[in-house]
Structure 1
Amino acid sequence: MTENLEQLKKDLENQVKLAEDRLNQLQYLQADFDNFRKWSEKEKTSIIALANENLIKDLLIILDDFQRALPSLEQEQNREGMEMIRKKLIKILGEYGLSPIVCVGKKFDPYLHEVICKEKCKEETNTILEDFSTGYQLKSKVIRPSKVKIAEQIEENEGENNG
């Protein structure tokens, strides 16, 4: 009887150990699945963001065309309609996180701006004087840098060393 009881205790211990091993395996599997779910959700979000970015880059070409066309329109009625369409396009793109990079009067930042030319003037060096092409950010990512003209400070004795 005691031998039978000892065997049952051993079997019970083995079964408890087996159950604990299976529980650990199940917990690891559940954690792996949870990590996979989070990764796939992040990947899906990334793919959608990339698709939006490419679409918005293509739409920026149309926005640029509107901005170039508006000054040439002479008839007030056509100009107002084009301006309304441009504003709607800007509003819709803004809802997706697009914002223009405001730069005139600010310091040159190579991450936000692309220098097209420099002009000697009394402004502080690397101050942006003119914005030739508006740059845009999609949320916090620059998708198109601004094309700008920056100041190059005139030195005081620049014309005095001629001879």
Structure 2
Amino acid sequence: MLEAKDQQQAAAAEAVEANVEAINPDQEEVTEVEVEVVDPQAAALEAARKLANDNHERYMRVQADYDNFRRRSRQEKEDFAKYASVKLIEQLLPIVDNFERALVASKSVKDFEVLIKGIEMTAKQLDQVLESEGLKAIESVNQPFNPDFHQAIMQVDSEDHEEGTIVEEIQKGYMLKDKVIRPAMVKVST
């Protein structure tokens, strides 16, 4: 391989001398010019190394960007979970204030009708807030028993209702949007 390279360099040097004589036939002294013959395989290898280095640097930048994205996403998820209930709490605070006012008023005023009316209005306000968040009470009385929505705690004989019909609701059940979060506790006719 070295011998072939030396032969190529010698041939290139002779070609340069011939070209110099053709261009300058009257000049007696010619300065020696060093010619480097480029090996095509070495050039291809050097180009491949440069491309590999560029690709590696690009990969490292993308990997760093991805790591930063993953870290930011985890932090955002933690913050969301930590403060997810802020909106609901903000809506409930006026209701808490109304209950506190009712308690203070009940100690100084002995008009229980006004107190009951105030508590009913506050309870209605609470229902509106919960409904706006997607909470719905499960209808139970006079409905057929459905174990997906109801929890039977007692069976009673009833001539007024068909078998498997809910006679009485002991505790309300609730759904949040499409999911049952608490089944209704009911008495079912036999």
**TM-score of the two chains, using structure 1 as the length reference:** 0.59
* Greater RCO, 1 or 2 (C-alpha within 8 Å, sep 6+): 1
- The equivalent residue for 1:83 is 120
Deviations 1:11-64 (A, max 9, x none): 232121222233344445544554555555455545555898xx9xxx9xx9xx
Query: Following the alignment from structure 2 to structure 1, what is the Cα–Cα distance between the partners of residues 145 and 63?
Result: 51
1:107 to 144, 150, 155: 144
Alignment partner for residue 56 of structure 2, among 21, 30, 39? Answer: 21
Give ranges in structure 1 of 5+ residues lacking alignment.
63-73, 153-163
For the pair 1:131 / 2:166, whether they are aligned, the reply is: no
1:13-52 correspondence to structure 2 within 5 Å: 13-31=48-66, 33-34=68-69, 37-38=72-73, 41-42=76-77, 44-46=79-81, 48=83
Residue number in structure 1 paired with 2:188: 150
How many residues align? The count is 134
Distance 2:138 2:80 in 1: 25
Aligned to 1:11: 46
**Alpha-carbon distance in 2 for matches of 1:21, 1:124:** 76
Offset at residue 151 of structure 1 (A): 1.9
User: Which of 96, 99, 107 lines up with 2:133 in the alignment?
Assistant: 96
Q: What SS does structure 1 have at the residue aligned with 2:143?
A: coil
The structure whose residues are more often strand, as a share, is: 1
Structure 2: which 5+ runs fail to align? 1-35, 100-110
Q: Which protein is bigger by CA-based radius of gyration? A: 2
2: CA distance, partners of 1:87 / 1:14: 74
Larger CA deviation: 108-117 vs 43-52: 43-52
